[in-house]
Structure 1
Amino acid sequence: MSVFGRRQILLSFCLTTALLVAIVEYNIFKTHDGYTHFVWGYYHSKQILEGQLYPKWFEEAFGGLGASSFTFYPPLFRFLSLPFALLNLSPSQQIKGAIIVVVIINSLGVFLLSYSLFKTRGYSRNVAVIFGTLNPYFLVDIFVRGAYAEATSIAILPWLMLSILKSLQLPERISLGNAIFLSLIFLSHIPGSLILLSSLFVGVSYLFVARKISLKTAINCFLLPLTLALGITSFFLLPVVMDNKLFQKPFRYDYENHFLDFSHELSYLLVGENFLIAILGISLYLSSFQYGELKDNPRKKFLSFAAAICLFSLGMVTPIAKPIYEGIKVFQEVQFPWRFFVTTQAIIPYLFAESVGRIIDENKCKKYTILSKIIPLVAITPLIMFCCRLWKEISQPYHNRFDKSFVAEINQITVTGKPTTYQEKNYLTYGEKYKVLPIGGRLFLFDNNFKLIQLEVPDYLPKGIDALKWPRVSYPAPHPTFRAPRLYPPVEIMYKGKYHVEAWKPGKRVLRLSLPQATAIIIKTFFYPGWHGEYTPLSPQQNNHGFIMTNVYHPLTLTPWWDGRIAFQLPPGEYQVIISYKGTLAERIGGIVTWITMSVIVFWQWRRQYKKKAIRIRS
């Protein structure tokens, strides 16, 4: 490897190491979404460790009432934290471990893509590595917003771009790599997936209309991989599309007032964002030179494709795009127009590096002129200022103290179920059934057995539930509007009757009921169409083991009670009732489509290898 390649490896290693040190230092609970990731990630890892390969229902959510797992972000980031759960690390350490993996994935993808684009331009590679690794939007997602799912999709983008570059070099083949990386992005972040799909559509349309690629290339490199990706991820995407109406609508900001508005969540991007918008203009201008070379050069096709994506995404964060948001309602699911910087800031570094490299190439006799030195320095200066400001914020002594005492306490409870002696005096008693730990402007609510009850939940409650009864974590205790959710018993029988819980495990409840009269039975689980019930009468004949089951199971009609729990009715008698989670129609169809798609891919790859082997034998 050349000296420039070794320097690039060293540069990438140093930048990545600095980010990893910052991740170890900072406190996830000081980010906007860190608390929610902590809670739902804890539920996810716990059920996997209990034997569920893919939890579809979080048993402990909402004080034990449960929640469908697809309502809070796709599962990829949670699965990245699973190895750290297997190491028996605490929930916050699991999240930090997954973030470390995401940063490494991003850095490695940036390194490989920059090396593929600029094999003979060491200077351009270094510029691309610096701006790709220290992507301001990526850093704000991690350290300020706590948008770890979106950060995961950003980390996969360089890999997708690298796969697209390779597919343009072999346009006659169907790109399985494009399908895999598209699938990973779909399983990372839904708004990010919408942004990427629309951007890819614009980029591919531009290449096709400009006659830079043929229809066959567009199909092999983009359309068929997209179809495969949708098939692979249908087990998750189909419930998102079809079952989302079963839950309350999350709070939506008015998109009209959020064009280029970073005052709330993206204050740290003001300098870095404005600067990168400026270099976007330079990059697009300089990358538009020498159009005659574009038709037969995959690298130039890729840069034109990237420039079209950036131009479209940049327009989508300005009021110019208002008719698009009003006319195509799906774009309102993006929530914040500035989210389109997901694509611009992930691709701009390579356009800028191309621009710098072209300037240097055009001044070969003056390679180290003032111009070639000033442009990268001017570009890097505000980026360094941005990183220094971010580091100053996350390394404040208050944050460290907060992390060592408070986070350690929460980790202690979630792992062992017992508070530390140091923090026990800080718990407030709320009623007879709750313990409240108020630290740092947040409330952590536990029952008397120190089981965590998440509070920030209105976006994920089933329809028909009064979300106001579930307090938000920002309320300082004791707040007059604080109302803890009711803790229900496992089973309630409206009239006389007895019950015995034979089994209560993830996805299954087995009850034995003795009912002297017809009555309604309510169980401690939110009603959801994915739950299915059946019952069998018990024979009056007795032996040493009690009643004998008839082994004839009848379907049981489940309905929602007034407070959202599962309810059903039975006539007088002795029964065994089994209520199990079999999935909604969308979940079952999505699972079938995923298995069919995976089978087709495996058969296709096997057939391809078989043909190669047959040709080799003949020759």
Structure 2
Amino acid sequence: MHATTFIKFEHSNIHNSNNYFVEFIVVSLCLCLTASYCIMPLIIHQSLPYSHDMLFHVFQADQFSRGIAGGSLYPRWMADANEGLGSPTFIFYSPFSYYIVAIIHLVVPSFRESMTIAIWFSFFLSGLTMYAAVRKTCGKDASLLCAIIYQILPFHLLDLYARGTFAELYAYVWGPLVLLSLLQIHHAKKPFWPLIGLSASFSGLILTHLVTGYMLTCAIGLYIVYVLITQKERQFPLFSALGVIIGFGISSFYMIPVIFERIYVHIDYITKCTVCDYTKNFIFDLNNISDRFYQWLHISVTIELTVFSLIASKFFNKYELNCQQSKQGLLCCAPFILSFFLTTPISAPIWLFIPGFPSLQFPWRWILLMELFFCTTIASYFNRMQFSKYRVYLLTFIPLAIISATIIFKASLFHKELITSLENPIQNSKNTIAWEYVPIWASAPRQTIMNSGKEKMGVISGNASVRITEWHPEKREGYVDAATCSKIKVSTFYYPGWKLFVDGKETSLNIQDRSGLMMFDVPQGKHEFVIVFTDTELRRTAKIISVIALIMVMCFAIFVTLHSAIVRSLSK
């Protein structure tokens, strides 16, 4: 009897594994087709969209790849920025998406094709993670529909074709995984694996797009407070907060320098420049009606609000407002409504009150979270409503598909505005100056950058000649032959971490007034010099914290696995 039962159980497991494998293949093929559809203009025209920030991200991805090729595992210095004077951009900008391009570029010679493939993967993976997040909630069919909707949502496409925010495209990948981990923590009796999942996905989001990570942290914090107040439950708030904290720990090698080194750059530019003033970037503001980008935003958000309202009304007509189903529905709706509220002018007092909100620059960034909660809400409703699912599918899918197809079609019509020369992004560096990351020692950065020449090193005083033997993004070597005591200028902005070694001994670096460029003195004679960008004590400490957090997670995962195996063996 026991042997027969075991054989049946084993056969059932094999059958289920085969079913899951077939399901994964079918879903992956569907999402591959949708991802290809989303980037079709890029494939047809063999180019990238000439959108708001695309040149900026192309240049940064190129610099990151060059930094890795120069021997740095985690490049922090962007050598060719600011007309060759350099920038500590990668200390402040999340690196994950650029690692993807760098890895693809190892096997794909064309940089443009590497970027295109990376963009395709962002759409494909976002659909796959959304499918995984809602699979248990609403079944195979509805999950696939929600995943496809998540890929073709208007703001998702506008991020590519209008905004060109390459890193934010990958933020769509992590959001569903964070929500899935939170849902599993809420319902599991012993949520140890969901805790690990939340730590990994949250740190992935931080390392991909810090702004989205901050916004989702606010949403998670509000939900934890809600559970504490209304349900008086301790497990979910404890494990959720712990998962977020561990996620911060894993990403400390990036986060800690971001927090503590802001004082070394002109970071206030992101809130003081005219374009990035949040008070001028609310949607449904009469001052923005004539702008074409805002017109697309208004149309997209209006359609999403309409679809959301129709589905929500169907749901709440089905249930009494005080029943458990209705309360769960309200809980799904709340983050969507709150995210929409924060995009409108009436939320201005909140933006002024909450620390960090003005640094988000654009209130319509919250549309990303709107669309995340839009899909999870649809998934929840599909699982609970009794009326014809096909009607709901059509009601949801058709208007979104129409506006998405229009965006892609418009991108095809305006293909003459696409970038056609991307194989040498340094040529476009004059368009990729990020003023907020210029070091504070450059008190007149515009004048310094405009007057910068092609000379990498020069003699300011004395009689000497300089010969450069190597010039890598984070390391420069050469010789100085000084007939007299001389002062040498390096056409690179100073930033903490740059160190000078003359004849093998560390020597102090000086900073030129106003320009913020590095200088050093050499005595008479022939000297070998090495200038290298190293980790400061703060950055080394941050790396140690990340390693400790990662080891803790790995040890915890091993412990949970062994514990589960022992429990299963004893139960037999």
Bin of the TM-score, shorter chain as denominator length: 0.7 to 0.9
Helix, strand or coil for the counterpart of 1:578? strand
2:300–2:403 Cα contact (<8 Å) kept: yes
1:313–1:343 Cα contact (<8 Å) kept: yes
Question: Of 444, 454, 459, which residue of structure 2 is paired with 1:487?
Answer: 454
Aligned residues, how many?
Answer: 535
Opposite residue 500 of structure 2, the aligned amino acid is G
Give yes or no for the alignment of 1:132 onto 2:150. Answer: yes
2:33, 2:177 → 1: CA distance?
21
Q: Which residue of 1 aligns with 2:502?
A: 535
Relative to structure 1, is the Cα distance of residues 520 and 130 closer, same or farther in structure 2, using a 3 angstrom cutoff?
same
Please state how far the C-alpha of 1:528 moved relative to its aligned partner.
0.7
Opposite residue 59 of structure 1, the aligned amino acid is A
Relative to structure 1, is the Cα distance of residues 505 and 22 closer, same or farther in structure 2, using a 3 angstrom cutoff?
closer
Q: Which residue of 1 aligns with 2:406?
A: 389
Q: Could you report, residue by residue, the CA deviation over 1:389-444 in whole angstroms, capped at 9, with x for unpaired residues?
A: 21221112x61x665xx62x442x56xxxxxxxxxxxxxxxxxxxxxxxxxxxxxx
1:63, 1:149 → 2: CA distance?
23
Give yes or no for the alignment of 1:176 onto 2:193. Answer: no
Q: Could you report, residue by residue, the CA deviation over 1:501-527 in whole angstroms, capped at 9, with x for unpaired residues?
A: 354334222343344444422112211
1:469, 1:29 → 2: CA distance?
31
Tell me the TM-score normalised to structure 2 length: 0.83
Give yes or no for the alignment of 1:461 onto 2:438. Answer: yes
1:458–1:470 Cα contact (<8 Å) kept: no
Give yes or no for the alignment of 1:600 onto 2:552. Answer: yes
Relative to structure 1, is the Cα distance of residues 65 and 305 closer, same or farther in structure 2, using a 3 angstrom cutoff?
same
Q: Which residue of 2 aligns with 1:144?
A: 162
1:313–1:344 Cα contact (<8 Å) kept: yes
1:354, 1:269 → 2: CA distance?
26
Q: Could you report, residue by residue, the CA deviation over 1:95-127 in whole angstroms, capped at 9, with x for unpaired residues?
A: 1111011011011112223322112x84x4455
Q: Could you report, residue by residue, the CA deviation over 1:434-461 in whole angstroms, capped at 9, with x for unpaired residues?
A: xxxxxxxxxxx85xxxxx6443314232
2:339–2:369 Cα contact (<8 Å) kept: yes
Structure 1 residues 93-242: aligned runs within 5 Å: 93-119=113-139, 122=141, 124-125=142-143, 127-174=145-192, 175-211=195-231, 214-220=233-239, 222-242=240-260
1:615, 1:374 → 2: CA distance?
47
2:23, 2:203 → 1: CA distance?
34
Please state how far the C-alpha of 1:618 moved relative to its aligned partner.
6.8
Q: Which residue of 2 aligns with 1:82?
A: 102
Relative to structure 1, is the Cα distance of residues 291 and 534 closer, same or farther in structure 2, using a 3 angstrom cutoff?
farther
Give yes or no for the alignment of 1:350 onto 2:376. Answer: yes
1:611, 1:111 → 2: CA distance?
30
Please state how far the C-alpha of 1:199 moved relative to its aligned partner.
1.2
Structure 1 residues 470-481: aligned runs within 5 Å: none
Structure 1 residues 25-36: aligned runs within 5 Å: 25=44, 27-36=47-56
1:231–1:597 Cα contact (<8 Å) kept: yes
1:194–1:334 Cα contact (<8 Å) kept: no
Question: Of 581, 598, 613, which residue of structure 1 is paired with 2:533?
Answer: 581
Relative to structure 1, is the Cα distance of residues 391 and 514 closer, same or farther in structure 2, using a 3 angstrom cutoff?
closer
Give yes or no for the alignment of 1:307 onto 2:327. Answer: no
Relative to structure 1, is the Cα distance of residues 495 and 13 closer, same or farther in structure 2, using a 3 angstrom cutoff?
closer
Q: Greater strand share, 1 or 2?
A: 1
Question: Of 344, 351, 354, which residue of structure 2 is paired with 1:318?
Answer: 344
Alignment root-mean-square deviation, CA: 3.3
1:14, 1:29 → 2: CA distance?
20
2:279, 2:422 → 1: CA distance?
39
By relative contact order (CA 8 Å, sep 6+), the higher-ranking structure is 2
Q: Could you report, residue by residue, the CA deviation over 1:570-599 in whole angstroms, capped at 9, with x for unpaired residues?
A: 444554333211123432222121112112
Relative to structure 1, is the Cα distance of residues 30 and 202 closer, same or farther in structure 2, using a 3 angstrom cutoff?
same
Helix, strand or coil for the counterpart of 2:356? helix
Give yes or no for the alignment of 1:499 onto 2:466. Answer: yes
Opposite residue 161 of structure 1, the aligned amino acid is L
Q: Which residue of 1 aligns with 2:12?
A: none
Give yes or no for the alignment of 1:257 onto 2:209. Answer: no
2:402, 2:49 → 1: CA distance?
25
2:445, 2:321 → 1: CA distance?
57
Please state how far the C-alpha of 1:238 moved relative to its aligned partner.
1.5
Q: Which residue of 2 aligns with 1:267?
A: 295
Q: Could you report, residue by residue, the CA deviation over 1:125-160 in whole angstroms, capped at 9, with x for unpaired residues?
A: 455234222221111101221011112112221222
Opposite residue 128 of structure 2, the aligned amino acid is L
Helix, strand or coil for the counterpart of 1:486? coil
Please state how far the C-alpha of 1:381 moved relative to its aligned partner.
3.6
Q: Greater helix share, 1 or 2?
A: 2
Tell me the TM-score normalised to structure 1 length: 0.77
Q: Could you report, residue by residue, the CA deviation over 1:260-318 in whole angstroms, capped at 9, with x for unpaired residues?
A: 24654343232221121234345556667468875xx9xx9986654332232122112
2:49–2:417 Cα contact (<8 Å) kept: no
Q: Could you report, residue by residue, the CA deviation over 1:192-245 in whole angstroms, capped at 9, with x for unpaired residues?
A: 11111111111222233220x72122111x111111111111111112122223
Q: Which residue of 2 aligns with 1:15?
A: 34
Helix, strand or coil for the counterpart of 2:364? helix
Relative to structure 1, is the Cα distance of residues 518 and 131 closer, same or farther in structure 2, using a 3 angstrom cutoff?
same
Relative to structure 1, is the Cα distance of residues 67 and 533 closer, same or farther in structure 2, using a 3 angstrom cutoff?
same
1:574, 1:143 → 2: CA distance?
55
1:496–1:516 Cα contact (<8 Å) kept: yes
2:333–2:377 Cα contact (<8 Å) kept: yes
